[in-house]
Structures are given as structure tokens and as C-alpha cells.
Amino acid sequence: MRKMQLLLLTLMACLFSSTLLASINLNVEISGIDKEMKENVHLLLSIEQQKDHALMSEGRMRRLHKKSAQEIASALKPFGYYRSEIDAKLTQSSPGQWQASYNINPGPPLLIAKFELTISQEMQEDPEFQLLIKNLKLRKGDVLNQVKYENIKADLARLATERGYFSARFIEHRVEIDLDAYEARIYLHYEGGPRYRFGEVHLSQDVLDPDLLRRYIPFQIGAPYTLNELIDFQQGLNDSDYFRTVEVSPGQPDSENDTIPITVALTPRNHHRFSFGLGYGTDTGARAKFGWEIPRLNRRGHRFNTELKVSQIGYSISAHYRVPVLNPRTDQMVYSAGEVNKKTESSDSTVRTISASLNRSHGSWRESVFVNFQQEQYIVADDRGISTLLIPGVNWSRTWASNFIYTIDGLRFDIGFRGANTILISDNNFFQAQGGVKGINPLGRRNRLIARGRLGGTWTDTFHELPSSVRFFSGGTQSVRGYAYQSLGPVDASGNVVGGRYLMVGSIEYEHNLGGKWGIALFIDGGNAIDNIADKLEQGAGFGVRWKSPIGPVRFDLATAITVDGRPWRLHINIGPDL
């Protein structure tokens, strides 16, 4: 019975005690200093950290308040304020309601009277270290900031590791604070030691010729080590699409030769890959796609892929055999064969093609030199026939942007030339040039201005004998919105569109982001396929909705044909990258 009484008394005491403790409701207010300093004060101020503690009492609160001035003064010192004044008040507004107020005058800042930074000779000649020192966040005459000082030390050590100074160390690193003179003096002496160089590259794989893989190495053996080139090496192997996993890592530094070996572990991809997709576009209608790829045919890295596309306006089937050449990251020979059938409001054609192209990079420019042999059965108004053409040509393109899918600020440019001559198999002579540009510029945080244009020209004495694939047509989602796909161009006596010798198309679009993944747009398009520069250009205008989908921007546009009687409206749906 006595034990039961003791237990009840203990429970009542705990309940009474917790009730008393729960009655403390404390608010802490800090003023007089900037956000960064205030955050540090919050971290070091005990009364702030413990204000919601379950065991908080009035006595404990007063003890914490009593030492708050000292804690605040300590929190301000890393920012260079050593003579701060704190007006501290603890008041009770009502039973259980308390207010701790700290109005802070940080006082005069402690300035850096001397900043002595020395690095080893080889580091002084390294452009990256020169840039780091040029952009130091702390200098003589600045307010002492311990956070920035520690960041400088961390940046020196990080850059040393990235640039191959694996023996680098601080000979001296100290901050002298003279409160009598009220100034600070900083001494940093960083000794880099020898700069290590790339050693042998060890490849762990058995599916590709090592000589092919070594052509992916962006550095020379014996060249100064940089982490960026190691990352570039790994990225190149990842982008090659030969491997499921790629691990490129530095080995143990060889202090005798000042070299560092590189180890590469590679796991090959599956031998076959299949893809299937469904979609819809205003120009094509419903569509489906099936693909089969062999990413690695042999040890020389040859590839093969084939693709079948079916839509409401036709079909295409193609096969490509790809051979890496020169720099395998960017350059390849492509041998292709295929058949394309397309039926639009203006033409009906079936093109069978065999081609070879050399695709390579020249710096930031992409070049494709090709020769196509094609036979085309076509109907364009009253022009019909079977055409045989051997078409050599060249295309150049370049894109300036950090993100091609969702572009905030970027530019794309392309230009190409192609032609045929009866001396070389062809049954027609023609020469054709075509180029385009698209630019995207930000207007504030949520707006973009998008402009695009395309020009083309064909020179021939027998235009009406050319097949539809080398004539120009206009209209559609990527051309002049408000008009059907390839429905614009010169017409014959019966009013049928026959295609034009020249192409002129332009567009200006204003886009506003509503927040998140949705946006709206206003646009005006103009252009046409024409035979003479003075021919009429059609116009379309409208508005649209934008959605950032996981597979790229989706655009829903409602456009009206301004230059057509009645101004009919047309819905355009398009999915694809910005550039």
C-alpha cells in the first residue's frame, strides 16, 4: 500500500512539474545587425537554442539571458567586430509570456592592415592559381572575416588537388589580432611542391580495341595533371554509349617520378537495345516509332541501328552503319539506306536513298559532308515522274547555349549546300543553299523573346522536273503557323501548290512563365515558298500554352491565317527541345 502511495505521489509530482515547465513561452528578438551575422548569433546564443526545451524554467531562462551578451560578442568576432555593444532585456508581458530582446551595435570593424599571401613559383605561373588570387574575396583594407579567410584556405587546397599538387601544404597560416592597434594581420604561405603529371592509363575491359579507347584520352601521358581533363575523359567514355558504367580514377601518386597513373574500369552495355514510342504532332498526325540498335558490332567500335516510323502522312524506314574515325568522340562515317513516303496537301512522294557522310567537329562547329544517291517517285500537282539524283553536299551548324532542351539564353545557326549534275548519274541539274537561325533571349526572370528565320534558294533551268524533296514548301508548326503543313508555295493554273525556288520564313514569339512548369506565349509568323523575291508572304499569328514535360517542352499553339479570307484558325502541337 505504501509503495502504491509513493508511486501516485511521484506521478503527481511529475505531472505538476511538467505543467509548471510548460508554462514558459519565450520569444527571442535580435536587431541591429545584418542577416549573416544574425544567423551566427542564433547558432551561438544559448537562450535561442534552448527556448523550446522541455525543462525550461524561469531560473534557467534568466541564467541563459545573463550570459547572452558574451555569446553575442563571440558570434560577431568572426565577422571582424570586436567592440560590440549589446542592449539586452528580458521582460514578461503576461503570465508565462516572456520576451528576450537584444539590440546590437556591432561597433567599429576590425580592418586588415597586412595581408601576406605567398605561393610556390610553379603555382604562380599556373593560370588557374593566378585567377584564384586575382579574385580573392579578402584583401588588405577589408574588414576581417574569418569565414572568407577559411574559404581562401579551402580554395587553395582544393585547386592544388585539382591541378596535381598532391604534396601541397601550408607552411604558415595565421591571423594576428591586435586589439590595442585595432587591426588584423594575415599570413598565408602555401607550398605546392612538385606538380604531378599524368602517368600510364590502365584500361580494364575486353570488348573494344585498346587503341580505339586511347583515342578518347584528352591528355598526353606526361602532361600536367588536371582534374577537369580526367572528368572530360570519363564524360567522353560515358557519351560513347559503349558502356553501362564508367569509372575513371587516379591511382596512387608515384613520388619518385612525380606521376599519377589513371585506372579505367568499364562495363559494356547489352548487345541489343530496342525502343518504341507513340506520339502526336499537328504536321504528322498520330505517329509511332520502333528502333533496334546494336551499339557495339565489333572490337573496332562499329555500330548499327535501324528505325521504322509510321504516321498519318506516311512512313520511313532507315538503317545506319556507323564507324568511329579521327576523334571517336565527335567524328564518324555513316553509311545509310532508307525509304521515305510522305503525302501532304501539296505532294505525294516516295524516296529511296543510299548515302555516305562524314560527320565531324571543328571546334564548336559541327560539319557533315555527304553524298546521297536517291530515286524518287513523286506527284506535285500536274508534275509527276521518277527522278534519279546523285547529290553531294555539306552542312555546318553551331549552337551557343548551356542547355539545349530548356534554353534561357542561346543561339543556333546552320547553313548547307547541295546539288546535282547530269554528268554524275543525275537526270537533272540544280544547286541549292539553305540556312537558318534561332535565338532565345531572356527578358527579366520569367520572360523570353524567341526569334527564328530561314532562307533557301534553288538555281536550275528545269525546276518543274525536280522532285518534291528538293522543292521548297512552307506552312506548319515549324514554319508559318495558322496554315497546314507544306500547304504554302507558288501555285499552277488550277490553284495547286507546286513548290517554290526560294524560301523565306521568320517568326517572333514572346513567352511568359507562369511559375513552375507552365507558361503562355504570343507569336507572329511570316513567310512563304516563292519563285520571285517580290511574291506575297503569308502571315499567321496567335497564342499558345507551354508545358515543361519530362521529355522536353510541349507547345500548344492556336494560330490564325491572317492573310486568308475569313482568317481560319488552326491548332498546332509540337514537342521538342528549344534549340
For residue 118, is pLDDT > 50? yes
On whether both 396 and 347 belong to a single domain, the answer is yes
Q: 526: domain CATH number?
A: 2.40.160.50
On whether both 161 and 301 belong to a single domain, the answer is no
pLDDT value, residue 22 = 46
User: Are 396 and 416 contacting, i.e. CB atoms less than 8 angstroms apart?
Assistant: yes
On whether both 431 and 297 belong to a single domain, the answer is yes
For residue 52, is pLDDT > 90? no
Examine the fold and report which residue of 162, 191, 220 is the final residue of a domain before the chain moves on. 191
Q: In the predicted model, what is the mean pLDDT of residues 361-386?
A: 93
C-alpha to C-alpha distance for 57 and 50, rounded to whole angstroms = 11
Q: pTM for the complete prediction?
A: 0.78
Question: Among candidates 527, 512, 557, which has minimal Cα distance to 452?
Answer: 527
Examine the fold and report which residue of 211, 245, 268 is the final residue of a domain before the chain moves on. 268
Percent pLDDT > 90 in the chain is: 79
Q: Is residue 546 part of a domain?
A: yes
On whether both 45 and 148 belong to a single domain, the answer is no
The 10s digit of each residue's pLDDT in 247-260 is 999 988 888 899 99
Q: Is residue 5 part of a domain?
A: no
Q: Is residue 281 part of a domain?
A: yes
Q: Quote the number of domains for the chain.
A: 4
On whether both 52 and 144 belong to a single domain, the answer is no
On whether both 341 and 296 belong to a single domain, the answer is yes
Q: In the predicted model, what is the mean pLDDT of residues 1-26?
A: 52
pLDDT value, residue 55 = 82
Q: Is residue 12 part of a domain?
A: no
Q: Is residue 145 part of a domain?
A: yes
- Return the higher-pLDDT residue of 7 and 328: 328
pLDDT value, residue 57 = 87
For residue 8, is pLDDT > 60? no
Q: Is residue 571 part of a domain?
A: yes
Q: Residue 29 belongs to what domain range?
A: 23-105
On whether both 152 and 94 belong to a single domain, the answer is no
On whether both 147 and 280 belong to a single domain, the answer is no
Q: 206: domain CATH number?
A: 3.10.20.310
Examine the fold and report which residue of 268, 294, 316 is the final residue of a domain before the chain moves on. 268
On whether both 489 and 549 belong to a single domain, the answer is yes
Q: Is residue 11 part of a domain?
A: no
Residue written as grid cell 542577416: 35
Question: Among candidates 418, 382, 371, 411, which has minimal Cα distance to 495?
Answer: 382
Give me the chain's average pLDDT, please: 91
CA angle 215, 220, 221 (to 5 degrees): 110
Reported confidence tier of residue 494, pLDDT bands at 50, 70, 90: confident
On whether both 492 and 394 belong to a single domain, the answer is yes
User: Are 497 and 490 contacting, i.e. CB atoms less than 8 angstroms apart?
Assistant: yes
On whether both 500 and 561 belong to a single domain, the answer is yes
User: Are 560 and 419 contacting, i.e. CB atoms less than 8 angstroms apart?
Assistant: no
On whether both 418 and 308 belong to a single domain, the answer is yes
